[in-house]
Amino acid sequence: MYLCIMKRIVYALSVAVFMAAGASAQAQSKEFTLGQWVELHNAILKELNRSYVDSLEVGRIEREGVDAMLGALDPYTMYVPEEEQEDFQMMLSSAYGGIGALIYKPETDGNVFINEPYANSPAAKAGLRCGDQILSIDGVSTHGLTASESSEKMRGKPGTRVTFKVKKVYTGDTVEVKVLRERIVLPSVEYAGMLDSGDGYIMLTKFTDGVWRDVRNSVMKLRSKGMKRLVIDLRGNGGGLLAEAVNIVSLFVPKGSVVVSSKGKTPGSNATYCTSTDPVDTEIPIVVLVDSGSASASEIVSGALQDLDRATIIGTRTYGKGLVQSIRPLPYDGQIKVTTAKYYTPSGRCVQAIDYSHRNEDGSVGHIPDSLTHEFKTLHGRTVRDGGGITPDFEVKPHKYSRLTYSLVLGGIVEQYALDYVMRHQSVPEDFHFTEFEDFVAFAQDKEFDYRSTARAMFDQMRGTLKEDGLEEAMMPQLDALQKALEMDKATFLSLKKEEIVPFIEEEIVVRYYFQEAGIRIRLRYDEQLHQALLQPSITLP
């Protein structure tokens, strides 16, 4: 017996030593591989610098090399050199120093138009309005400047002044306007208001520093107006700060509730985030609207509220970004934003939809198949799944717009018409209804844009393929007949799609008189997905 026990001890120790040796060898192997590639990289660079036939732009090729290396990991890990820090911080905080206005510059040799001043911005306070033309900026003519160069001259340190020579839109007078630059913070809560007598609505577009306070204040104001149900709109919200997502969830669930956890390679990246403040309201029914553009922090909020059975999630499946990024310092005042962990909802779900660690032969990445997803349970026992974003409790699809409408909006035709309209009309009512569609058609007739229907675009693609295959000539009679049937002149097609084009025109026009909130109210007027969502029942719990 004693001998048998000794043999077991010796065997166990041997296994332990073997495993330790294996782990040590693996670590050494990784360190050796890293050192090998660092040495090889330096040797290649030195040889190129010594032997390459042309002058070597070391900075350019090194930056391209770094970007390519990081791009092989995931889209969110990136290098930020010192000269790009300001733009990077603006992206994180949605803030910059300037006058607070969007501009439009149709021609390099033309003037700059004020397109849309922000509410309470320095531009608005100085009396600049849509349609005003900027002739010069601090004595420098805007003729010959690009839109980007003009915008850059308008920006500057908060507290400094910029002087414009302005041709006023309605009087035609040329005046000098001095504007005191401020720190312009683009709001993350773009709109909060009552949809009807009982439904409060908050549109949250980003998770920037302190936004949870704006959400809290909005909830308090809506409750004072008689809100009986809250709609939180996270559609198109690509995320932001994890801490803000946790703080927003804390407004609606008991103190101490788990919101999200992160798991990574290093001990510092493993954490569980719980609510640490008393909630504002744990009883009011909540609807959270999501879509394929709702990502990251949006998925933390919607996933947590779903797992805790605190809200009804409505819309379409979210993006599926379950990766956490951290910012680390680098030499020469650079930074790296690096993916350090994956996050998990209270039920244990990871909503990451794409596996970047295993790429296909062509370099593409695949989504996690449904067969590899797992079931999890919410606080009250409802079944939810991981592996592909947050699946809503009720699917409500958005309105599908025609190819023509996308072309008009993305091609800037509607925006150009709005500017033209404002220059011809000194005022419109805030509850604006557009009734001059024939005027828009006449305006659009003279503009270059792709007005083909989806069917016609597909036909053109098919005809091109047939030509490449040498089959077009043999099928010419049938192709000509089909093309004739699909042809529709620009004015006819515009009139056919009037009902879906008009809301975009109304929104673009009204924001130029009453700022963004008025435009959002117009948008909500036509929001079919929102209206259908409000008809869905709330999740009932045992």
Active site residues: 296, 307, 321
Q: Hey, which bits of 105-257 come out as E strands?
A: 112-117, 133-137, 140-141, 161-167, 174-180, 182-185, 189-194, 199-204, 229-233
**Under 8 Å between Cβ of 183 and 170:** no
**Helix residue ranges per DSSP H, 322-412:** 403-410
d(CA 341, CA 326) in angstroms, rounded, equals: 9
Instruction: Identify the H or E element spanning 151.
Output: helix 147-154
Instruction: Identify the H or E element spanning 356.
Output: strand 354-359
**Phi/psi at 387 (nearest 5 deg)?**
85, 10
109 residue type, one letter: D
Contacts 24+ apart (CB under 8 A), 109-112: 109/143, 109/144, 110/142, 110/143, 111/135, 111/142, 111/143, 111/167, 112/137, 112/142, 112/145, 112/147, 112/150
Indicate the SS3 state at residue 472. coil
Instruction: Identify the H or E element spanning 519.
Output: helix 498-525
d(CA 367, CA 389) in angstroms, rounded, equals: 11
Beta strand pairing status for 312-315 and 286-290?
Answer: parallel
- Specify the length of the chain in residues: 542
User: CA-CA-CA-CA torsion for 281, 319, 508, 524, nearest 10 degrees?
Assistant: -40
Which residue, among 171, 338, 310, 164, has the nearest Cα to 232 in the 3D structure? 310
DSSP 8-state code for residue 69: H
Which residue, among 356, 379, 375, 351, has the nearest Cα to 366 in the 3D structure? 356
Centre a 10 Å sphere on the Cβ of residue 284 and count the other Cβ atoms it contains. Answer: 16
